[in-house]
Amino acid sequence: MRQNLIIDADDTLWENNIFFERAFEDFVRFLDHSSMSPAEVRHVLDEIERANNQIHGYGSLNFARNLRQCYQHLAEREICEDDVRTVMGFAERILECPMEVIDGVAETLSYLAPRHELTLFTKGHPEEQKLKIDRSGLSGHFAHTAIVKEKDAAAYRSLVSERGMDPERTWMIGNSPKSDINPALEVGLNAVFVPHRHTWILEKQELRAAAGRLLVLEGFRELRDHF
């Protein structure tokens, strides 16, 4: 039976968080704090991001803003404009990183697209996400693309309503319990959890049981065994 497959983008179709992690490592080296470990610096940045993401959203430009704020909070030397520009540059260079489509994704989408209705559902800065979609070369597999500020229960309800999807025949596929799996299950959809070892810590949650069905796969290419 033909299904509606809603598919996440970052860290499901292509690598994303690894570039943010590398930028953070550059930041820690530049900060060179005398007493705080990288994990402690990371905790401070996480708290800044939790607060700012609610206001400004996601993406490399917002990450640059968060790094700047973290540097201004933790720096043990006089803060100058050159140092601030250096810190923000660690994040801004993420856009220049090569697109790395995850192994098995392209051929799996080629297999799924003729059989099911595919929707690309991602959150973040619209122009930045559009650029990544274009660079990936994967857009032709999708009947519809939606970019939203936050992937929460309300966003899923809106998408399903706008596209006229039958929840019983609709699956959300992604790596994030917070943005992909739990809110989809909450609104009565089915979900496929495809873990990624570099999933952003703020996207991690315990998987919550709900009315919808849940599959947990080891990799994206295993979708061919189920759909």
> Which of 53-57, 121-125, 188-192 shows the lowest per-residue confidence on average (mean pLDDT)?
53-57
The token pair that represents 1 in the structure block: 């039976």
- The angle at the Cα of 135, spanning 22 to 192, to the nearest 5 degrees, equals 75
List all residues 6 or more positions away from 110 whose beta carbon is below 8 Å from its beta carbon: 141
Are residues 89 and 134 both part of a single domain?
no
CA 92 to chain centre: 17
Predicted pLDDT of residue 142: 98
Global pTM reads 0.92
Are residues 73 and 155 both part of a single domain?
no
Question: What's the Cα-to-Cα distance from 51 to each of 1, 10, 60, 122, 127, rounded to whole Å?
Answer: 43, 21, 16, 20, 22
Domain that holds residue 57: 17-96
- How many domains would you assign to the chain? 2
Which CATH number is 142's domain given? 3.40.50.1000
Are residues 91 and 105 both part of a single domain?
no
47, 78, 96 - which closes a domain: 96
Q: Burial of 187 by CB count in 10 Å (0-12 exposed, 13-18 middle, 19+ buried)? A: buried
Q: In the predicted model, is pLDDT for residue 12 greater than 90?
A: yes
